[in-house]
Amino acid sequence: MDKTVTNPLRGITMKLLSILLFLCMQILIKEGGKGLATGEITFFRSLFAMPAILAWLALRGEFRSAFRTDNPFGHFKRGFIGVISMSFGFYALVHLPLPEAIVIGYALPLFTVIAGALLLGEEVRAYRWSAVAVGFVGVMIILWPKLDLFTSGRMGAGEFAGSIAALLSAGMAALAMVQVRQLVRTENTPTIVLYFSLSATLLSLLTIPFGWPAMTWEQALMLMGAGFFGGVAQILLTESYRYADVSTIAPFEYTSIIGGAAVGYLLFGETLSASLFFGAAVIIGSGVFIIWRESRRGVKRPSAG
C-alpha cells in the first residue's frame, strides 16, 4: 500500500534538517577522528546510529517486521559496499578541508548514472552522458591543483590521498545505490535501513586486526554523537521522500556546501579556493541537470541506506 503523502514543504524541511544533522556528524568525525583508524570511526558511526533507527521502527510499528528479509545476501552486499564508501568518506573528512570533502562527494550522481548504465542496463542518452562528462571536468578543476602540488612535493600525501578517497567514496556510494535499487524490488525501506546499520557495524569490526588506536574520552563522545546524529539524519532523509518527489528534494542536497563553507571557516579556518568554487559550480550544475533529466524519465533514486 502506498503510504506517501503529498506535502512538498514538509519533505523539503525534513531534507534540510537531515543536511544540518549530517553536517554535525561530519564536524564531529573531522574533529574526533584525528589519529584514529577509519574502521574504528565507521564502527562508532554505525553502532550509535542504531538507537535512533530502532526507536524510529518502534514508532512506525515496524520493529519486528523490519528484521524479516528474503534477501540476506543482498543486504550483505549493500553493507559491504557501503562500509567501504563510508570508510573512504571518513578518511577524506579527517584529511581534507570540510568544504572540499563535501564538494567532491557531489560526484555521486555522476557515478550513479555510469553504474546504472553498466550494471542495471538503464538507458542513458546523450544529454545525461554530456552532463556526466561536464561534471567530471568540475572534479578535475578541484583535483588538478592538488595533483600539481603533490607531484612537486609541496603538499603532504595526506591531503592528496584525502581527495582521492573522497572521489572513491562517491564511486562506491554509487555502487551501493545500485544494490539499493535491486533491494527495493523485494524489500521495504525500513528493512534496508536497519540491515545496513547492522552489517556496517559488524563488518567494521573486522578491521580490528589492522589496528584501532586508543581514543580519548572526548573522541569517544564525539564519535558517539556522530553516530546518533547520522542515524537521525538518515531517518529524516528517508522520511522526506514520503512527502515529495525525488526531483523536488534532491537538489537541496547542494545547500550543504553553504553550511560546510561556513563551518569550515569558523571552526577550522578553512577558506574556499578559486578552483574549489568553480569546480563546485560545474559539478552542482551537472548534478542538478541529471536529477532533472531523471525526473523527466521517471527514474527514482531510492533513499534508503
* Interval 266-291: pLDDT, tens: 988 888 888 899 999 999 999 888 88
Task: Name, of 16-30, 136-150, 184-198, 265-279, the range with top average pLDDT.
Answer: 16-30
Q: Return mean pLDDT, the chain.
A: 87
Report the alpha-carbon distance of residue 214 to residue 174 in Å, rounded.
Answer: 33
**3 vs 293, residue with greater confidence:** 293
Given a cut of 90, whether residue 47 has pLDDT beyond it is yes
What band does 157 get if pLDDT is binned at 50, 70 and 90? Answer: low
Across 35-44, 222-231, 264-273, least confident range: 264-273
What band does 148 get if pLDDT is binned at 50, 70 and 90? Answer: low
Contact 296, 127 (CB under 8 A): no
The grid coordinates of residue 189 equal 525501506
211 φ/ψ sector (left φ>0, alpha ψ -120 to 50, else beta): left
Given a cut of 50, whether residue 304 has pLDDT beyond it is no
Cα Rg, the chain, nearest whole Å = 19
What band does 181 get if pLDDT is binned at 50, 70 and 90? Answer: confident
Q: What angle do CA 180, 176, 71 make, to 5 degrees?
A: 45
- For the segment 82-101, the average pLDDT, to the nearest whole number, is 93
Predicted pLDDT at 303? 47
Predicted pLDDT at 158? 67
- For the segment 246-261, the average pLDDT, to the nearest whole number, is 86
> Taking every pair of C-alpha atoms in the chain, what is the biggest distance, in angstroms?
60
- Kindly state the DSSP code that residue 302 receives in the 8-state scheme: -
Across 80-89, 204-213, 267-276, least confident range: 267-276
**243 vs 84, residue with greater confidence:** 84
Report the alpha-carbon distance of residue 181 to residue 303 in Å, rounded.
Answer: 9
